[in-house]
With several copies, the nearest count.
Chain A
């Protein structure tokens, strides 16, 4: 089975063989892959013993290796073809969801405001700390779904930013 896997914007052609070997960009590796409990894996790759954690996140994969988190996309041939047709990888959504339950301390923008990626738009208190939620993209505030004083659950949609760079 052949995949195209993208890590840190670098493309790797990964081919999984029936005999346990793996080809990466045409080069053969001996890989022994052991699933441990709770999303952990032990990999022995060309004698190197490596432990990784893999999390799935919206169809992408977060891989934790020696204290660094990498984001990876794994595309099979069908997905590669579709991607070729659409002309690129999808952009960040403009939605801000609550990363944890908490109390809305302040909403710093109004509908229609222009915001830059990284601007603080909402202040959420949780675990006794105030957390600044930032705009995931540059654009304008399309709608606001919360107000100061609201107690909200995790993953509640709080605010939507329409992209200024949409196609």
Chain B
């Protein structure tokens, strides 16, 4: 990295992404006075990122492999608009070393790490080899490229439960937990097929599944002047099918000594690949505070805002600063995060129906507001959720002086949030925030799947709530049936038994 010029000018950034993260990056550029270029598929002409950027280039049909994943189209858009730099966001081409290399070959700045770091950390096996030399503790597991039979033997040796993971994986895709030998073959098949269709690479490996462990990750920031620091941890144990749902900073499980030790380990892991820019070291931490390196994400994380709120550091601005070849603003690792931040991922998924994704037109979208609330979203009333992209539609982030403050604010913000038209997981988050286990901080990565259900509340609905529901359903039905019967005689509107209608008409006549 030290061979690069020390200060490069960035006047225009092309954002090679969509949705909330594209909007987030455009916002950071605007805050810095840097021009922006959006790329958009045919399904995203109305999307916020297309409308918020200074320029917008159409890159093809809705399926990602015909638009957001086509490196050549993105580079062509950058050349056409004379962008100096490309920010990949997360997902799509963010961890594609070929793409990072092609960007550099075109004389453009890739706002992210070097192709070498991406390649090494993107291959789970190489990553383990790299960090091992720096005494980073690893979860027991196998290497890549093993046959089903070799994997079965390895699993017996490591001992169940184990986790099957895609070599090229990320975001929970191509991952399958297996609790006994009987289900192993089927899990291998599913994981390979999902990995093949998601990443074009069906190779998998296995790892010991740690029971009762937490997912805790460290935010890394490194510049091209040889400085590498961490910005403290994020607690991401609230997951479902390895998809994070709620993240916090700091972690209730953390203590000063553990933060010190894990932070040093995280810095070492990053240094093992000469890492430059923002990255994340994901770890599992067991009940006894033993920790294990899982993987490094060589990009901005979905959950980066919780770190921003407790450190006061704008990670996207720092990414751009580092990509310009400057020294990053913070000079020391963050050992004392200020206050507490919590993020709920708002997904178009139905928590009452096995979290099935929901598509359709968002009819109303009233976002929470007021002190201590941040919403990062790419949708709005009138926006259509299509089946082409992932189901996360917004991130709701709250801040408070303590965990209890942040949680109270989250509870308040969730109750303010109104989205109609599609099913979404706000009810899940509301229930979670009322769960005694979550409130007490007693949870691990299996909590949501094993011990939390939408219909087994830790406190049952009250009689008054049931009564309220009965009244609401009845008034709704009564009104609809009345309106239906009035189609015959529309002049005779029955308003007399609707107190408010009468009152409203009195005011507005």
Contact = CB atoms under 8 A, between A and B. Distances in A.
Q: A contacts B directly in the complex (CB < 8 Å)?
A: yes
Interface of A: 1, 3, 5, 7-8, 10, 12, 14, 16-20, 22, 24, 29, 31-45, 47-54, 56, 61, 63-70, 72-74, 76, 99-102, 105, 123, 125-132, 134, 154
A128 B390 contact: yes
A5 B470 contact: yes
A8 B474 CA distance: 15
B354 interface: yes
Contact of A105 (B193, B353, B472): B193
Given A45-B468, A65-B465, A67-B426, A74 B477 contact: yes
Choose among B57, B426, B434, B472 the residue with the greatest number of A CB atoms under 10 Å from its CB: B472
A69 B352 CA distance: 8
A20 to B, nearest CB: 4
B170 to A, nearest CB: 11
Nearest to A56: B480
B496 A74 contact: no
Contacts of A17: 497
B56 A49 contact: yes
Contacts of A132: 354
Interface residues of B, number: 75
B356 interface: yes
A156 B474 CA distance: 31
B475 A65 contact: no
Contacts of B480: 56
B359 interface: yes
Given A10-B466, A100-B358, A131-B356, A47 B57 contact: yes
Contact of B472 (A38, A41, A67, A127): A41
Interface string B37-67: 1100000011000111111111000000000
Contacts of A5: 470, 473-474
Given A31-B475, A47-B81, A131-B356, A67 B431 contact: yes
B470 A24 contact: yes
Interface of B: 37-38, 45-46, 50-58, 80-81, 173, 190, 193-194, 197-198, 241, 350, 352-354, 356-359, 363-364, 381-382, 387-391, 414-415, 418, 420-421, 426-427, 429-431, 434, 454, 457, 461, 465-481, 496-500
A34 B457 CA distance: 29
B108 to A, nearest CB: 17
Contacts of A105: 193
A74 B356 CA distance: 27
A132 B427 CA distance: 21
30 contacts: A3-B478, A7-B470, A12-B467, A12-B474, A14-B471, A16-B474, A22-B474, A32-B58, A33-B475, A34-B46, A36-B382, A38-B420, A38-B421, A42-B50, A44-B56, A49-B52, A52-B472, A68-B457, A68-B465, A70-B461, A72-B469, A72-B470, A100-B358, A105-B193, A123-B190, A127-B359, A127-B388, A129-B357, A129-B391, A131-B354
A84 to B, nearest CB: 19
B238 to A, nearest CB: 16
B51 A51 contact: yes
Choose among B50, B364, B497 the residue with the greatest number of A CB atoms under 10 Å from its CB: B497
